[in-house]
Amino acid sequence: MSDTATQGELLRLLNNRRRRHVIWTLAAVDTPVDVETLTGFVVSLAAADTTAATRWDDRRSVRNNLKQRHLAQLADAGIIRWTTTVRPGPQFVRAIQTLAVSHAPE
C-alpha cells in the first residue's frame, strides 16, 4: 500500500479496533509518542471496552502486536509516521475524517 490508500483500503485498515485506538490516541495527544506510551493508551482504551484487568503480559502482547503488525500497516498507508516515535502522517487527517463518519471514538 502507498501513502495514498484507496477509500476501500482505508476502510479495511480502520475496521480494526486496535488501529482505531492508535489513531484516536494520536489525535488526542497531538504530539509524537513513543511506542511504549502509545501502548499504554491503547491498553487503557481496550480495557475500557472490557471488565478484565490488564496484566503485564497483555501489555507486552499489545506492544508486540502494534510493532509487528498495526503500526507498519498504518505507516504503509501514510496514516502515521513511525521511527522511534509515532506521529501523524500525510493521510492522518483523511483517516480521522473517515473515522468521524464511520466509527465514533471508542
pLDDT tens digits for the chain (106 residues)?
455 678 888 999 999 989 999 999 999 998 899 999 999 989 888 776 554 555 545 888 899 999 999 999 999 999 999 998 999 999 999 999 998 887 655 5
For residue 44, what pLDDT is reported? Answer: 85
For residue 36, what pLDDT is reported? Answer: 93
For residue 23, what pLDDT is reported? Answer: 95
Task: Judge contact between 25 and 96, C-beta under 8 A.
Answer: no
Written as one string, the DSSP assignment of the chain is --SS--HHHHHHHHTSHHHHHHHHHHHHH-S-EEHHHHHHHHHHHHHHTSSSPPPHHHHHHHHHHIIIIIHHHHHHTTSEEESSEEEE-TTHHHHHHHHHHH----
For residue 103, what pLDDT is reported? Answer: 63
